[in-house]
Amino acid sequence: MTTLDMSTTPLREVNVTLQEAAKSQSNSAFEITNPRGSHAVAVGLDGPLSVTIKGSTGYYCAGMNKSATIRVEGSTGPGVAENMMSGEVVIEGDASQYAGATGHGGLLNIKGNASSRCGISMKGIDIVVHGNIGHMSAFMAQKGNLVVLGDAGDALGDSLYEARLFVRGSVKSLGADCIEKEMRPEHLEILKDLLAKAGANAKPEEFKRYGSARKLYNFNIDHADEY
């Protein structure tokens, strides 16, 4: 275990150290102390590595992650785990807006709440939120799974493509072209697996599934007069 103290080590040096360790495929463990809400902590890690951040971070924590496991023992600012390719990011506290945006793969596990635009334009990432999510979550989401143990805000899944949304609590409103769908056995299997991976205390049967009505996929000639 190597400790990097951000009260004495500049951010760039912290990230270079982590990125080099990731590149060397060393699978080593790092602990980052005193993050004090800094931006862009532990970004661009391109290999197996275990990083624990002891405190809250600012914008764009754990961005562009590939293979690394990053645990934040605090809350994160906007854009956590943006464009993640693989690996796992765990937030012990809350995540601010657009958590997991454009993520292609891996697991983003948020133990608290996520605010607006969680999973916006997600492209294959799995996101599990143990608390609530804010408005416009999964906007234009293309692929992957968003699992919410709490409630969802306004306009969930607006202009959704093929991502699957599972919500246990209430949904304030659904966005354009997002509908509730039948929960089939294969969905319960996916949910069971994700809940187990995220250490979430919930049963797959308690959730409802939402997805795309696929009405926005093609232009409807009957609407031509509206333009």
Partner 1 sequence: MCGIVGLFLKKDDLRPKLGDMLTDMLITMTDRGPDSAGIAIYGDEAAGSTKITVQSDTPDIAFAGLEAALNEALGTTASVKTVDTHAVIVLPVEKQDAAVSFLEGKGLRIMGVGSSMEIYKEVGLPKDVAARFGLRDMGGSHGIGHTRMATESAVTTMGAHPFSTADDQCLVHNGSLSNHNQMRRKLAKKGVFTKSENDTEVGAAYISSRIAEGASLGQALEGTIDDLDGFFTFVTGTKNGFGVVRDPIACKPAVMAETEDYVAFASEYRAFADLPGIEAAKVWEPEPATVYFWER
Q: How far is the CB of 132 from partner 1 (least distance, A)?
A: 10
Q: How far is the CB of 96 from partner 1 (least distance, A)?
A: 6
Of 22 and 174, CB closest to partner 1: 174
Of 120 and 195, CB closest to partner 1: 120
Of 10 and 214, CB closest to partner 1: 10
Q: How far is CA 122 from CA 37, 71, 137, 187, 223, in A?
A: 25, 21, 10, 18, 29
Strand ranges of the sheet holding 164-167, from the earlier edge strand across to the other edge: 2-5, 29-33, 50-54, 69-72, 88-91, 107-110, 123-129, 143-148, 164-167, 208-212, 178-181
Contacts with partner 1, residue ranges (CB under 8 A): 36-38, 56-59, 75, 77-78, 93-94, 96-97, 113, 115-116, 134-135
Of 134 and 157, CB closest to partner 1: 134
Strands 208-212 and 178-181: antiparallel
| CB 136 within 8 Å of CB 115 | no
Q: How far is the CB of 108 from partner 1 (least distance, A)?
A: 17
**Distance between CA atoms of residues 98 and 142, nearest Å:** 15
Q: How far is the CB of 95 from partner 1 (least distance, A)?
A: 9
| CB 31 within 8 Å of CB 52 | yes
Degrees, nearest 5: CA angle 199-202-206: 150
Q: How far is the CB of 25 from partner 1 (least distance, A)?
A: 33
Of 135 and 187, CB closest to partner 1: 135
Of 71 and 135, CB closest to partner 1: 135
Q: How far is the CB of 16 from partner 1 (least distance, A)?
A: 21
CA atoms within 13 A on the CB side of 110: 32
DSSP state of 152: B
